[in-house]
Chain A
Amino acid sequence: MSAAALADERLRLASETGTPCAPVRDLIGEVDLDEAYAVQSLGIDRRIAGGSRIVGRKIGLTSASVQAQFEVYTPDYGVLLDDMVAADREPLELSRFLQPRVEAEVAFVLGRDLDSPATHVADVLRATEFVLPAIEVVDSRIAGWDIRITDTIADNASSGAIVLGTVPRSLDGLDLAATGMSLDHDGEVVSTGSGAACLGSPVIAVAWLARALARHGRPLRAGEVVLSGALGPMVAVTGPGVYRARLDGLGEVHADFIDSRPEGALA
């Protein structure tokens, strides 16, 4: 078994048993990002074989402080599957997650393909059909979030679920870099930030992703959702309850964590 297959197996077991595992850097090292993305692809291919569909991508490591923490001065990305997507206020069972954390982001919904390795911000602006406020539920299969760059990439960029707002906004006249973000829980503000925290602007992050994916031959397609990266520090989810993200000019979105879904409820 190759190192990538062993790493994938370790992550799969953690996910399926709900028991966090050891990091995979002992198997794939801490330097080779391509190897880490190969592990990520194994996991995604298996989920697709099980019936999941790709609905978009997420960008991670977009803030200067997180990049400094990982000593990696580039973002990373993961795949969004249909079973990861929830709408505003749709209940999220805590049992789905191992060690969930939440962060507020801007979700881009593409109206056109972004398939050029030379994609720049103007292409992103032209291709974006609308944006939505979003909460990303990040999660790590690795115990205690003891992750380095290759661990998180292999683990599909520590993705868990995404909650999308339901009121689309046009980018026309919207300065995402200047957009304020406030995330609250139980009436207390638990994270604040702004669009500028995401590589200077979420639009810049999406342009980076489009180029990276085009170079790897898996370009962004019309209709896909791109989660562009956190606008402020992530916050651990401690139990059932509602986390509300407010993005100035984009509206708000709620992640409602519950212990378990009532019998017969909409699944």
Chain B
Amino acid sequence: MTAAAAFAAALDKAQRTASPIRRLAPDATIGLGTAYAAQHALIARRLARGEHVVGVKLGFTSRAKAQQMGVSDVIIGTLTDAMRIDDGGTFDPRTAIHPRIEPEVAYLLGTDLDEVDADARGSASAIAAVAPALEIIDSRYRDFRFSLDDVVADNTSAAAFAIGQWADPAHAGDLGNRGVRLEIDGRPVQTGSTAAVLGHPHRAITAARRLAAAHGFALSAGMVLLAGAATAAVPVPARGCIEAVVTGLGRVSVRVDRNERISDA
């Protein structure tokens, strides 16, 4: 078993059992190449169980986030259909170790961005729709402590996401500096601006293309791109309603509760 495959197996088990593990390479960096190879191997295990890739996400796109985690580079992770929660749907906190949630902007890709000629068309034509989003992150590492390589291998802490109503980007206006509010049970817990995402969330498209090309990710029409957090992440409460509001774009919510009604049904 290669190092990447071994890391993937350990992280996969940690996610499925909601049990934290130690950092993979606490004493020496494993290298970004091995880290992305581990992430691809981790996703391959999930796809083998029947999941499908539905998009990508960026991490560490904001200063607040980078400072919170002590890293600086933008990273890319994979979203699968199993991570998706409907707008207004339920997240069961027992499926995660120490989940945190953050408000984001989501883009729906309208063209294959990994095509060579996508450059000429520019990023504007690449966006079919835009929406407010919530992302739940859950590091599989104990105490959310990790290096950049560790978190890349751990699929950038991706756990779950919900997307609000898609809007036509032509009518959404400039999304570069929209107020963003994260509420738990109706009370604001974080406020910020979409400018926290790389200075303008639109820049996530260029960043995603660069990272996808460098690290072997597909960026196809119909995929979701989670651009990055607009505020610091907050711990997911044991139960409650979490809502993100992006000024002029709308809102999206997730209910946190034990999913017993579903299993009882």
Which residues of A approach B to under 8 Å, CB–CB? 175, 177-182, 184, 188-197, 200, 232, 246-248
Contact = CB atoms under 8 A, between A and B. Distances in A.
B247 A192 contact: no
A248 B173 CA distance: 12
B181 A194 contact: yes
Interface string B178-220: 1111000000100111111011000000000000000000000
A248 B181 contact: no
Interface of B: 62-64, 176-181, 188, 191-196, 198-199, 230, 245, 247-248
Contact of B177 (A177, A190, A248): A248
A182 B195 contact: yes
Most buried by A among B188, B191, B198, B199: B191
Contact of A232 (B176, B192, B198, B199): B192
B181 A192 contact: no
A200 B193 CA distance: 15
B195 A246 contact: yes
Contacts of B62: 192
A196 B231 CA distance: 13
- Top 8 nearest A-B pairs (CB, nearest first) are A182-B195, A180-B193, A194-B179, A196-B191, A178-B247, A192-B196, A180-B177, A192-B193
B199 A180 contact: no
A196 B179 contact: yes
Contacts of A194: 179-181, 191-193, 247
A105 to B, nearest CB: 14
Contacts of A191: 63
Contacts of B64: 192
12 contacts: A178-B247, A180-B177, A180-B192, A180-B194, A180-B195, A194-B191, A195-B191, A196-B188, A197-B191, A197-B192, A200-B188, A248-B193
B199 A181 contact: no
Nearest to A175: B247
A248 B196 contact: no
A181 B177 contact: yes
Contacts of B198: 189
Contacts of B248: 178
Contact of A177 (B176, B179, B192, B230): B179
Given A182-B176, A194-B180, 5 more contacts: A179-B179, A180-B247, A181-B195, A189-B63, A192-B62
A56 B178 CA distance: 29
Given A180-B177, A182-B177, A195-B179, A189 B196 contact: yes
Contacts of A193: 191-193
A184 B199 contact: yes
A161 to B, nearest CB: 24
Contact of B179 (A178, A188, A190, A200): A178
Contacts of B199: 182, 184, 188-189
A192 B188 contact: no
Given A193-B192, A196-B181, A246-B177, A179 B63 contact: no
A205 to B, nearest CB: 14
Nearest to B194: A180
Contacts of A246: 177, 195
Contacts of A192: 62-64, 192-193, 195-196, 230
Nearest to B245: A178
Most buried by B among A182, A191, A232: A182
A228 to B, nearest CB: 15
